[in-house]
Structure 1
Amino acid sequence: MMDDLHWADIVGLFGSVFIIVAYYFATRGKLKADEMAFNLWNILGGSLVMVSLVARPNLGAIVIEVMFLFIAATAVLRILRAKP
Structure 2
Amino acid sequence: MNTPLDWPSIIGLCGTACIIGAYAYLTLAKATNPFVLHGTNLMGAALLTVSLIYHTNWASLVLEGFWAAIAIFGLARAWRARTIEGEKS
Q: Shared fold by TM > 0.5?
A: yes
Partner of residue 42, structure 1: 41
Question: How many corresponding residue pairs?
Answer: 83
Partner of residue 81, structure 1: 80
1:1-84 aligned within 5 A: 1=1, 4-30=4-30, 32=32, 35-83=34-82, 84=86
Superposition TM-score, scaled by structure 2 size: 0.83
Superposition TM-score, scaled by structure 1 size: 0.88
Runs of 4+ aligned structure 1 residues displaced above 6 Å come to none
Contact 1:25 1:31 in 2 (8 A): no
Q: RMSD in angstroms over aligned alpha carbons?
A: 1.7
C-alpha distance after superposition, 1:41-82 (max 9, x if no partner) = 101111100010111110010011100100000110111112
What is the aligned-residue identity percentage? 33
Instruction: Name stretches of at least 5 consecutive residues in structure 1 with no aligned partner.
Output: none
SS in 2 for 1:49: helix
Instruction: Name stretches of at least 5 consecutive residues in structure 2 with no aligned partner.
Output: none
After superposing the two structures, state which structure 1 stretch, 42-51 or 1-10, moved more. Answer: 1-10
